[in-house]
Amino acid sequence: MFLSDTPGGDGAPASFERPIDLVHLSRQTLGDRALEVEILNLFVVQARALVERLDAAAEPGARGDLAHTLKGSARAIGAFRVAAAAEACEAACAAGEAEWRRAFGRLARAVGEANGAIADLRQAA
């Protein structure tokens, strides 16, 4: 397991210590490993597509909708850093282009970390 339910040493929730909270994911899938793999694979594809669409979107409303979608998907699998970054991106839609771009950069990095962790899980299996 990557995570436990106890807070990390830095005061952050344990769910933020690693890109994917496998305990949360296991709860969501009732411990079904095949379902976990399927869901993680779907997340990788969806997250990449949403990041690409976010990068290309110019309208704040479209950006907000895309970030909101990614936030929900990330929460479902336990990618809480991605969810937090997507939420910040969603909020930054009204704050202006410079702020939105900073938030988007953090989101893109968080997605990259989560997708990297998922790739590592695939190799370990």
What are the sequence ranges of the domains in the chain?
14-124
CATH class for the region spanning 14-124: mainly alpha
Q: How far apart are CA 3 and CA 45, in angstroms?
A: 24
Q: Mean pLDDT across the stretch 93-112?
A: 95
Alpha helix stretches (DSSP H) within 6-96: 22-28, 33-56, 60-77, 80-92
Going by pLDDT thresholds of 50, 70 and 90, the confidence category of residue 110 is: very high
User: What number is the average pLDDT over the span 42-65?
Assistant: 96
The pTM of this model reads 0.86
The torsion region of residue 21 among left (phi > 0), alpha (psi -120 to 50) and beta comes to beta
C-alpha to C-alpha distances, 12 to 6, 18, 80, 91, nearest whole angstrom: 10, 11, 12, 22
Reply yes or no on whether the pLDDT at 38 is more than 90.
yes
Q: How far apart are CA 32 and CA 25, in angstroms?
A: 10
**Amino acid in the structure at residue 113:** E
Q: Are 42 and 76 in contact (CB under 8 A)?
A: no
pLDDT of residue 21: 95
Q: Is the dihedral of CA 26, 31, 37, 39 positive or negative?
A: negative
| 18 secondary structure, DSSP code | S
